[in-house]
């Protein structure tokens, strides 16, 4: 399968998981990432200025969270120089960084010119419109860090910990114009260890998601066992009150 990877330049969790994905695809030998399209980092899924993101993080999650992730950003991005783009280029994956919409005319034309079989989205931060959804042979597929249809929406790792869930997982589904509502291809369960911080849960689910992708590509090719994503639950971005409840339940971010 000829795969276009659509992701964001996130220095916290995507560098190592992107390398893991490429290595697993290369080891499998049946598929290849023919193009990567990268957007600037936007963990909240919205286009905001750096100042807006910083103030929002401080206001909702508090000073210690803000300092922790600011230090990690400075260390990994500025001092060490880790980036998703560097990892992709290390493995000779053609890479294009965009600051405009994936749905722009020039980006749609690029995607169509590649004759890809599918687009794989990992930590995408843009809404995908119908022309892009129809631009490859099999469609656009997204990884969500929960067991859909439960915990649709934003920051599912936060919500499963806050709600004291014992199990979560990752889901690969076909993207439609709705939010986390497309047909489910497959999923993998993950038993949540006691006292695991959110940062470690995110890391483990990223690696589990890569395994899910490798195991599911043939299902996409054969269009086998797609399930409707009906019902379930949806969660918005946490508020400061939600964060207080998270901590009251003895949950940790890191």
CATH number at residue 205: 3.40.50.170
Neighbours of 34 (CB within 10 A): 16
Say if 253 falls within a structural domain. Answer: no
- Across the chain, what does the average pLDDT equal? 94
CB–CB of 45/10 below 8 Å? no
Task: Determine the average pLDDT of the residues in 186-202.
Answer: 98
Task: Determine the average pLDDT of the residues in 138-155.
Answer: 97
Question: How confident is the model over 72-127, as pLDDT tens digits?
Answer: 988 988 888 899 999 999 999 999 999 999 999 999 999 999 999 999 999 999 99
Range of the domain at 19: 2-248
Count of domains for the chain: 1
Neighbours of 176 (CB within 10 A): 17
User: Which of residues 6 and 230 earns the better pLDDT score?
Assistant: 6
Say if 96 falls within a structural domain. Answer: yes
What pLDDT was estimated at residue 226? Answer: 86
Q: Indicate the pTM of the whole model.
A: 0.93
Say if 77 falls within a structural domain. Answer: yes
- Distance (Å, whole) CA 126 – CA 172: 17
Say if 51 falls within a structural domain. Answer: yes
Task: Determine the average pLDDT of the residues in 130-139.
Answer: 97
Question: How confident is the model over 10-60, as pLDDT tens digits?
Answer: 989 999 999 999 999 998 888 999 999 999 987 555 567 778 888 999 999
Say if 254 falls within a structural domain. Answer: no
Say if 7 falls within a structural domain. Answer: yes
Residues with Cβ within 8 Å of residue 168, at least 6 apart in sequence: 145, 146, 147, 151, 156, 157, 160, 189, 190, 192, 201, 205
For residue 118, CA distances in Å to 62, 90, 140, 175, 238 come to 40, 23, 6, 11, 32
Say if 69 falls within a structural domain. Answer: yes
Residue indicated by tokens 């004291």: 164
Say if 230 falls within a structural domain. Answer: yes
- Distance (Å, whole) CA 204 – CA 199: 9
């Amino acid at each position: 399968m000829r795969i276009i990877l659509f992701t964001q330049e996130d220095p916290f969790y995507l560098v190592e998981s992107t390398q893991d994905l490429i290595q697993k695809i290369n080891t499998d030998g049946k598929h290849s990432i023919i193009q990567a399209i990268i957007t600037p980092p936007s963990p909240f899924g919205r286009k905001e200025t750096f100042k807006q993101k910083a103030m929002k993080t401080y206001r909702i999650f508090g000073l210690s969270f803000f300092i922790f992730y600011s230090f990690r950003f400075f260390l990994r991005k500025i001092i060490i120089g880790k980036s998703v783009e560097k990892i992709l280029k290390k493995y000779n994956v053609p890479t294009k960084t965009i600051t405009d919409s994936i749905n722009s005319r020039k980006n749609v034309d690029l995607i169509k010119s590649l004759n890809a079989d599918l687009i794989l989205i990992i930590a995408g931060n843009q809404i995908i419109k119908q022309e892009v959804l129809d631009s490859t042979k099999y469609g656009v597929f997204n990884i969500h860090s929960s067991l859909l249809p439960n915990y649709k929406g934003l920051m599912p790792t936060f919500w499963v910990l806050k709600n004291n869930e014992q199990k979560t997982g990752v889901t690969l589904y076909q993207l439609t114009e709705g939010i986390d509502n497309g047909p489910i291809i497959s999923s993998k369960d993950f038993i949540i260890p006691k006292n695991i911080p959110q940062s470690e849960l995110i890391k483990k689910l990223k690696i589990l998601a890569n395994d899910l992708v490798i195991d599911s590509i043939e299902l996409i090719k054969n269009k086998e066992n797609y399930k409707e994503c009906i019902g379930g639950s949806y969660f918005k971005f946490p508020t400061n009150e939600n964060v207080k409840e998270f901590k009251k339940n003895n949950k940790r971010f890191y």
